[in-house]
Structure 1
Amino acid sequence: MSAALPDGAPGPLPLVVVPGMLCDHGLWSDVAFPEHHRVHHVALTRPDIGGQAEDVLSAVPGPFVLVGLSLGAIVGFEVLRRAPGRVAGFCAMSTNAGAPRPEQYAAWRAMAGLIAEGRFEEVVEQTLPGMFDVSEPPGDLEDRYRRMAHRVGPDAAGAQLAAQATRSDAYDTLRTVRCPMTVLYGTRDALCPPDFHRAIAGAVPDARLTAVPGAGHLLPVQRPRPVSAALHELVAAAERTPSHVPAHPAS
């Protein structure tokens, strides 16, 4: 991408990148982000989706391209609800736009209980099987996940579990999206299966739905090349799209 444009025109759009639960900036270490675009990583440390959305909105001034995986994309849905004019493009991957289900509430309460008892390691091991496509040899992928989870730590993990319980159905918001949007998923994602992503893309006018064959939940770790390609395409589309005025003051 080119550097700043002449005559006071804005330069390249920044990217605000939000990981999933128990993940940090290491989730994206193999992803080739578009050149000349600043990348801002947001950590999920607040115990509610609204607070996490405000952290995203405060990461940069003005418009940006939003990239979120799993819980990070769920936070992105709330960002779109609060400040649609700030989001110039959105990549939602490995995620779910529906409200939590009863069995999810129960699982989150159980994990929070383990953390409170000092058994964070058990939580990490419980979540590990859902992260990758189990038909492939894991190599060092599982250890990468463990390292990320332990960098996140039990306090932030507890806050993320609390935030999950504050989620709500995002489909009304998705139907109002007018910026370029990419919905990216692994065909072997057991946590957020393909139907979740087809429903998200079906709610968004002109959304681009992209499947990554044979991949599980943590796409940027398992399949960084198609993730990189999708982000390059999204940023290019966002920069071709005329900016629009927010319906209300940006946060």
Structure 2
Amino acid sequence: MAVVQLYARDVGAGMPLVLLHAFPLSSAMWLAQREALAGRFRVVTPDLRGFGGSVLGSDVPSVDAMADDVARMFRTLGVQRAVVGGVSMGGYVAMALCRRHPDVVLGLVLCATRGSADDAGTSAARLAQADRLERDDDVSVLVDELLPHLVGPTTMRQRALVYGRVRGLVQSTPPHAAAWAQRAMAGRPDSFDTLRGVKVPALVMVGGEDALSSEADARAMAEALPNAELLVVPRAGHLVPVEQPDLFNQAVTEFAAALSGSAR
């Protein structure tokens, strides 16, 4: 089986900060983070397998495979430990990384994600979307069914350029990669045992207008983690780093700066 090497943008210097993108986007979503944070940190933003510049490979769909890709990228780039942040799907991958490769995680940022496995209805909806993505060989199902929920109503009303950028990123998603990722997420395990065993500090964030992951989801993760703080970001939906980049960047900077003495 061919090993997937992730394409990653790697900018700046200092303590490594690895940011894992949301579904169904790519590392392009982290533009504001690369611009704002690279003056203080080494910001590494990979494309998860099949997205952006990374190939899909032939593995059975699983978030574990995606986490193993990220751990392999650490070794390729010579990164021993990093603050790992994940939004949405990236959060699922970050939690799998904590389960499978805990030694590489210096701090954990979870945003707009959930520690629980999918319920039967959510899993069925993901699999139905995956089937349609492969059958149609385009991403119209994501534009129709997912895009309206990716940003909050404030962004829809006041940030037309942001919404347009998100729409463009969704439209450029490779359909077979999106189908693979949906199947991976549908089959992911519950991560609360993993969260309870995390030995590093954590920051949990959620948008105050998020229609896909709730404040209750975020609070449950923060309470399971032994050392976590919870931040609800106002006027943001599911894509907090894109909708409220200044607030996201400030929170991550303060969190990561407090850990900088622990990096090797």
Partner SS state of residue 153, structure 2? coil
Deviations 1:109-151 (A, max 9, x none): 2211221222422322210111111244151222211221233
1:225-236 equivalence runs, <5 A: 225-236=246-257
User: 1 or 2 for the larger relative contact order (CA 8 Å, sep ≥6)?
Assistant: 1
The residue type equivalent to 1:127 in the other structure is: L
1:220 equivalent in structure 2: 241
Contact 1:20 1:71 (C-alpha < 8 Å) held by counterparts: yes
CA distance in 2, matches of 1:70, 1:88: 20
> Aligned pair 1:132/2:146, yes or no?
no
Contact 1:33 1:231 (C-alpha < 8 Å) held by counterparts? no
Q: Work out the CA distance in 1 between the residues paired with 2:154 and 2:38.
A: 31
8 Å Cα contact 2:130-2:180 kept in structure 1: no
How far is the alpha carbon of 1:50 from its aligned partner? 0.8
Segments ≥4 residues shifted beyond 6 Å = none
| Structure 2 residue 112 is the aligned partner of structure 1 residue 94 | yes
Picking from 21, 24, 49, the partner of 1:22 is 24
1:26-78 alpha-carbon deviations (Å, 9 max, x no partner)? 21112222524222222222521111001111222311110100110111001
Q: Which runs of 5+ in 2 are unaligned?
A: 1-12, 50-55
**Size of the alignment, in residue pairs?**
233
Q: Does 1:122 align with 2:126?
A: no
The one-letter code sitting in structure 2 at the alignment partner of 1:116 is E
Report if aligned partners of 2:154, 2:236 keep a CA contact under 8 Å in 1: no
Q: How far, CA to CA, are the matches of 2:38 and 2:127 in structure 1?
A: 39
Structure 1: segments with no counterpart, 5+ residues = 1-10, 244-251
Matched, 1:52 2:56: no
Match in the other structure for 1:33:
37
Q: Quick check: 2:86–2:110 contact (8 Å CA) kept in 1?
A: yes
1:79 to 64, 73, 97: 97
Superposed CA RMSD: 1.8
Equivalence for 1:12? 14
Instruction: Give the distance between the partners of 1:205 and 1:128, measured in 2 at CA.
Output: 34
8 Å CA contact 1:34, 1:232 repeated in 2: no
Distance in structure 1 (CA, Å) of the matches to 2:152 and 2:116:
23
Task: Give 2:247's aligned amino acid.
Answer: P
- Which of 165, 171, 176 is equivalent to 1:150? 171
Aligned to 2:126: 108
The structure in which a higher percent of residues are helix is 2
- Mapped partners of 1:15, 1:218: distance in 2: 18
In 2, distance between residues paired with 1:27 and 1:82?
Answer: 26
Distance 1:167 1:238 in 2: 29
The 1-side partners of 2:99 and 2:221 are apart by 15
Deviation for aligned residue 1:13:
2.1
| TM-score, scaled to structure 1 | 0.87
